[in-house]
């Protein structure tokens, strides 16, 4: 348990709002991932770049030895630029454009996680044009629910992602008849912010069934990729700065029946970067409403959209006051009623000019910022540069 030490005096010299990333938390998280994964033979961890693509964060993650999981050409570029070797990059996404596939082929990425037959055909064609062979894995929709917000479950038959289990044999046969793709494995990703290990057990059981079916047809696969999804403690970031990677990896180790020589891949996003980041915002006004008080910040949903988009909770601390605790509705300046970070939030007495930290904002925060209302994008600072 460790409270982040916010360098408030330095914060006062920076233009708000901005993201602040605590290097110690990030490094301890990366060390934990590395140590826990190393306890299992053939576990390979990739970082899901979409959670946070700050160049220095990418670089630190790359240095810790993780691979990169990309969902766009832009992310492939960002990963390469940060130093990830192409052979550690996997590329997922339900709608890969031709130029993105070409970029992946030219870089020589490890694998395309293919989500449909037409995509497979296009990859085969584009690889043929370049005289290359693309390694492909099929993203299978396992029809496994995840106990998380409806907007971030991805593994149900009704979701747009992946190839249905019914079509799995057909697409594998199709790939094996193509000259410019090499079928190397199966890919899954059932959702995000998952805290119930039962969901990962259900996925493991499903994969076991699918593997048995494939084996009965004499089909061997070298790589299984179970995606990401491990959740973090948004309620208690100080008490639980590092997710329980040990239990996560052990759950797969004891339930997924890996065959000899198979590699198990993971794509972790949120669990790697969420707890190291906070959005630092300044209080512009304290407004007395009819029966509540509003703390109006200079940060809004354009800087951190998770509360508006997923009804997400971010613990909020007044880092410049030790006054009596009162309750506030913490809101942004954007012209949208959904621009609310939280209602009835207990905070040390708030005055104009105070700085608030919205915690656990390192994942899906800065990267999802927009310029709506002609607002400037927030900057991101790492603790070692302040
Ligand atoms: C978003 C995503 C991830 C990462 O999910 P987290 O919940 O952030 O760990 C991994 N794989 C794929 C294919 C994704 O789309």
What are the domain boundaries of the chain? 23-274, 275-385
User: 317: CA distance to ligand 1 center in Å?
Assistant: 28
Its pTM stands at 0.96
Of 184, 188, 189, the closest CA to residue 219 belongs to 184
Rounded distance between C-alpha atoms, residue 181 and residue 253, angstroms:
30
pLDDT of residue 1: 42
Q: Is 4 in the pocket of ligand 1 (CB under 6 A)?
A: no
User: 260: CA distance to ligand 1 center in Å?
Assistant: 26
| 3 state DSSP class of 164 | strand
Ligand 1, from 33, 45, 50, 91: best to mutate by most atoms within 8 Å of Cβ?
Answer: 50
Pick the CATH number of 23-274 from 3.40.50.10150, 3.20.20.10, 3.30.9.10, 3.40.50.720: 3.20.20.10
Ramachandran assignment for 350, one of left (phi > 0), alpha (psi -120 to 50 degrees), beta (any other) = beta
- At residue 357, φ and ψ (nearest 5 deg) are -110, 120
8-state DSSP, 238: T
Ligand 1 atom with the smallest distance to the CA of 152 is 7
Q: Is 50 in the pocket of ligand 1 (CB under 6 A)?
A: yes
Give the chain's radius of gyration (CA, Å): 22
pLDDT of residue 155: 67
Ligand 1 atom with the smallest distance to the CA of 363 is 8
Q: Is 228 in the pocket of ligand 1 (CB under 6 A)?
A: yes
pLDDT of residue 53: 98
pLDDT of residue 144: 87
Ligand 1 atom with the smallest distance to the CA of 194 is 7
Token pair of 257, please?
Answer: 């029946």
pLDDT of residue 145: 73
Q: Which class would CATH give 275-385?
A: mainly beta
User: 178: CA distance to ligand 1 center in Å?
Assistant: 29
Rounded distance between C-alpha atoms, residue 184 and residue 30, angstroms:
28
What are the pLDDT tens digits along the chain (386 aa)? 445 689 999 999 999 999 999 999 999 999 999 999 999 999 999 999 999 999 999 999 999 999 999 999 999 999 999 999 999 999 999 999 999 999 999 999 999 999 999 999 999 999 999 999 999 999 999 988 777 676 666 667 667 788 999 999 999 999 999 999 999 999 999 999 999 999 999 999 999 999 999 999 999 999 999 999 999 999 999 999 999 999 999 999 999 999 999 999 999 999 999 999 999 999 999 999 888 999 999 999 999 999 999 999 999 999 999 999 999 999 999 998 899 999 999 999 999 999 999 999 999 999 999 999 999 999 999 999 99
Q: Is 45 in the pocket of ligand 1 (CB under 6 A)?
A: no
């Amino acid at each position: 348990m460790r409270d982040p030490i916010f360098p408030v005096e330095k914060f006062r010299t920076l233009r708000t709002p901005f993201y602040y990333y605590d290097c110690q938390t990030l490094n301890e998280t990366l060390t934990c991932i590395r140590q826990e994964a190393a306890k299992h033979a053939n576990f390979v961890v990739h970082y899901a770049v979409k959670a946070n693509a700050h160049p220095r964060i990418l670089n630190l993650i790359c240095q810790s030895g993780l691979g990169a999981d990309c969902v766009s050409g832009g992310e492939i570029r960002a990963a390469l630029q940060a130093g990830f070797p192409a052979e550690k990059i996997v590329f997922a996404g339900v709608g890969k454009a031709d130029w993105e596939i070409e970029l992946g082929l030219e870089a020589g990425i490890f694998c395309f996680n293919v989500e449909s037959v037409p995509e497979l055909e296009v990859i085969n064609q584009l690889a043929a044009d370049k005289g290359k062979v693309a390694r492909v894995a099929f993203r299978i929709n396992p029809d496994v629910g995840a106990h998380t917000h409806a907007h971030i479950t991805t593994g149900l038959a009704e979701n747009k992602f992946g190839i249905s289990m019914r079509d799995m044999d057909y697409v594998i046969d199709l790939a094996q008849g193509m000259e410019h793709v090499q079928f190397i494995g199966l890919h899954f990703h059932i959702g995000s912010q998952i805290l119930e290990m039962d969901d990962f057990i259900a996925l493991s059981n499903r994969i076991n069934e699918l593997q048995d079916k494939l084996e009965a047809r004499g089909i061997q696969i070298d790589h299984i990729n179970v995606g990401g999804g491990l959740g973090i403690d948004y309620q208690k970031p100080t008490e639980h700065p590092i997710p329980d990677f040990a239990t996560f990896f052990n759950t797969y180790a004891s339930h997924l029946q890996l065959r000899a020589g198979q590699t198990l891949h993971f794509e972790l996003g949120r669990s790697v970067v969420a707890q190291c980041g906070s959005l630092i915002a300044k209080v512009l006004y304290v407004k007395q409403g009819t029966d509540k008080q509003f703390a109006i910040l200079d940060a809004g949903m354009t800087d951190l959209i998770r509360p508006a988009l997923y009804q997400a909770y971010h613990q909020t601390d007044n880092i410049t006051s030790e006054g009596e605790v009162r309750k506030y509705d913490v809101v942004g300046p954007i012209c949208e009623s959904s621009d609310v970070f939280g209602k009835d939030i207990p905070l040390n007495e708030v005055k104009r000019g105070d700085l608030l930290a919205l915690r656990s904002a390192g994942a899906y925060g800065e990267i999802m910022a927009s310029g709506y209302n002609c607002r400037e994008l927030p900057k991101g600072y790492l603790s070692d540069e302040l």
